[in-house]
A and B are shown apart, each in its own frame.
Chain A
Amino acid sequence: MRTRAILRSKSGLVGLIAVVVIAVAAVLAPVVARHDPFEQNLRASLGPAGRQHWMGTDDLGRDTFARVLFGARVSLMIGAGAVGLGLLVGVPLGLASGYFGGTFDAVAMRIADLLLAFPRILMAILIVAVYGVGINSLLVAIAVPDIPIFARLARASTLSIIQLDYVAAGRALGASDTRIMARHVLPNLVGPVTVQATFSVAAAILIAGGLSFLGLGVRPPTPEWGSMLAQARTYMRTAPHLITYPGLALAATVLGINLLGDALRQAYDPRFRGRLGGA
């Protein structure tokens, strides 16, 4: 990690702090929250923010602060899990594709182009429609659109790396294809893949929230920011705090990760001055 370069950019620092705070909050959720996120108390339903409940309570009298905290766990796990899945499939595919070329490369890249021609949310909806609503199909629905992105990226980097002298030197010394790919090419993919993965996590969290909001992702009673917002709609007039906090948490998380991604991109490639957006 290029920690110093990240710390040098102010927005990168802000992003890093935001991500660390949210991650720590997610890990320590059971300690920090003073209420059980599932504990109902109908007498305290739709209460405003106060001493007892820092972010108020929802329609079932559950503590919003606790639910927002535990929601961070759900969102971060889905984001990291889905992107990890996409990365594990996409990077080896792209690496092999760029390294060996030929028919395999041609076919793999055609399929990748096809998947990229599909809007992300639409493909996710199609996958959820087929496999049913649930956390597993949500993970797959978010991971699959990431596969061609990582494959394309890994392939492009591989193509430029195998031109380099030290790869030829390795080959001259009798290194096998597997060894060259693992020892010479793969380490060079870490930079671009890390940058893309960061933006992908932000996008994954947004899409997971969106699908859950539509009732196609994480379902209640599991505390998830998107589904909390969907439930809060009914009580918008009387309890606007139910809209404010989960949305704020979601936006802050995605913003923090995007800022971190920008800083990472500049750290790995100083020529880059943020030409394209993340997500």
Chain B
Amino acid sequence: MLAYVASRLIQTALTLVGISILVFLAVHLTPGDPAVIIGGNEASDEEIRIIRQRLGLDQPLPVQYLRWVSHVLRGDLGRSHRAGREVYDELATTFPVSLALAAGGLALAVLVGIPLGIVAAVHRDSLVDLAVMGLSVAGMSVPVFWLALLMILLFALRLEWLPSSGWGTWQHFLLPAVSVSLATLALLARMTRAMMVEVLLEDYVRTARAKGLPERLVRYRHALRTVLPPVVTVIGLRFGLLVGGAVITETVFAVPGLGRLVVLAVQYRDFPTIQAGVLLIAVCISFINLGMDVLYGVVDPRVRYV
């Protein structure tokens, strides 16, 4: 077990190094002076000079990279010329918002998606199954931004039940959470159904039925237990889906989160913010994947030997 955790830790560390190199090169391999790219077009000569000095742009690339990493590790992420503030402060205010939104979206996807999948599997080939599967395929095909606009149209403009944008109260939270969760919800429903259908045909399920256990017990005690662990892993792996949904959702609903920050930064070519934002999201995803793998290794001993 310890060896497994150690090897996963090393893997994660390597991934993080790779991601940081990618993010670093994104700026330094672009045509143009990196100091001007980082400082922005409106930066004064003095500011450009400071950036050049801070990053040591006359040094070889590997040296510059190490210097940049050491700055990042100390929390010095540079200055956002769009907001005129430290990038660190920008991230500190937007990150918790995105985290809350992702958690809400994930909770919704799990609490609705998995039960839908179970119901569909149990009533296989019925109308309910057809409806759930139809909804699930539709859920994976409907663009997040369209769904978001339709929800605004219905709940904010027509019915006037919920605000169309902003952040702070539970009313502000509802529509963005639904919009973020959609893709994951659809995926979970589909996966749960497919696995449940297979498991319900297994010998041990037949045995459980044969010895006269009530159907409810067979389904939720015997079958569901086998289905859940892989589904949980997928939840972790598909965290990227939530992030992707969040970038667009936050922009549509004007939620002051990390995704909207990155989009704004790209529009203003605010590179320190882009680099830091992308890095932060990638680091989060790596750690979530690590956590999921370790958790899965604890639950299922077979995993450790793969």
Mark contacts of B241-260 with chain A using CB atoms, 8 A cut-off: 1 yes-contact digit, 0 otherwise. Answer: 10110011001000000000
Are A215 and B145 touching (Cβ within 8 A)?
no
The residues of A that contact B157 with a CB separation of less than 8 Å are: 236-237
Are A273 and B197 touching (Cβ within 8 A)?
yes
User: Is A250's CB within 8 Å of the partner chain B?
Assistant: yes
- Quick one: which of B195, B248, B286, B289 contacts A275, CB cutoff 8 A? B195
Q: Distance in Å from the Cβ of A248 to the closest Cβ of chain B? A: 8
The CA of A162 and the CA of B146, in the complex, are separated in Å by 46
Tell me whether A210 and B153 are in contact in the complex, defined as CB-CB below 8 angstroms, given that A125-B247, A129-B274, A216-B267 are known contacts.
Answer: no
Are A213 and B191 touching (Cβ within 8 A)?
no
Are B138 and A255 touching (Cβ within 8 A)?
yes
Task: State how many residues of chain B have any CB contact under 8 Å with chain A.
Answer: 55
Q: Which of A122-168 contact B (CB under 8 A)?
A: 122, 125-126, 128-131
The CA of A111 and the CA of B136, in the complex, are separated in Å by 32
The CA of A125 and the CA of B248, in the complex, are separated in Å by 11
Tell me whether A251 and B251 are in contact in the complex, defined as CB-CB below 8 angstroms, given that A118-B282, A273-B194 are known contacts.
Answer: no
Interface class of chain B by DSSP: helix
The CA of A274 and the CA of B194, in the complex, are separated in Å by 7
Are B243 and A122 touching (Cβ within 8 A)?
yes
Among A214, A243, A273, A277, max chain B CB count under 10 A is at A277
The residues of B that contact A89 with a CB separation of less than 8 Å are: none
The CA of A210 and the CA of B148, in the complex, are separated in Å by 12
The CA of A76 and the CA of B242, in the complex, are separated in Å by 25
User: Is A187's CB within 8 Å of the partner chain B?
Assistant: no
The CA of A131 and the CA of B269, in the complex, are separated in Å by 10
Mark contacts of B11-46 with chain A using CB atoms, 8 A cut-off: 1 yes-contact digit, 0 otherwise. Answer: 000110011001100110110000000000000000
- Quick one: which of B29, B194, B267, B282 contacts A117, CB cutoff 8 A? B282
Are B244 and A236 touching (Cβ within 8 A)?
no
User: Is B262's CB within 8 Å of the partner chain A?
Assistant: yes
The residues of A that contact B26 with a CB separation of less than 8 Å are: 126, 129-130
User: Is A192's CB within 8 Å of the partner chain B?
Assistant: no
The residues of B that contact A275 with a CB separation of less than 8 Å are: 191, 194-195
The CA of A119 and the CA of B146, in the complex, are separated in Å by 21
Q: Which of B63-82 contact A (CB under 8 A)?
A: none
Known contacts A119-B285, A258-B141, then 13 further A-B pairs from the complex at CB < 8 Å, ordered by chain A residue: A118-B19, A119-B240, A119-B282, A122-B244, A126-B22, A126-B23, A129-B274, A130-B26, A131-B30, A215-B267, A254-B141, A275-B195, A277-B186
List B residues at the A interface (Cβ < 8 Å). Answer: 14-15, 18-19, 22-23, 26-27, 29-30, 136-138, 140-146, 149-150, 152-153, 157, 183, 186-187, 190-191, 194-195, 197-198, 240-241, 243-244, 247-248, 251, 262-263, 265-267, 269, 271, 274, 278, 281-282, 285-286, 289
List A residues at the B interface (Cβ < 8 Å). Answer: 11, 110-111, 113-114, 117-122, 125-126, 128-131, 202, 206, 209-210, 213-216, 226, 229-230, 232-233, 236-237, 240, 243, 247, 250-251, 254-255, 258-259, 262, 273-279
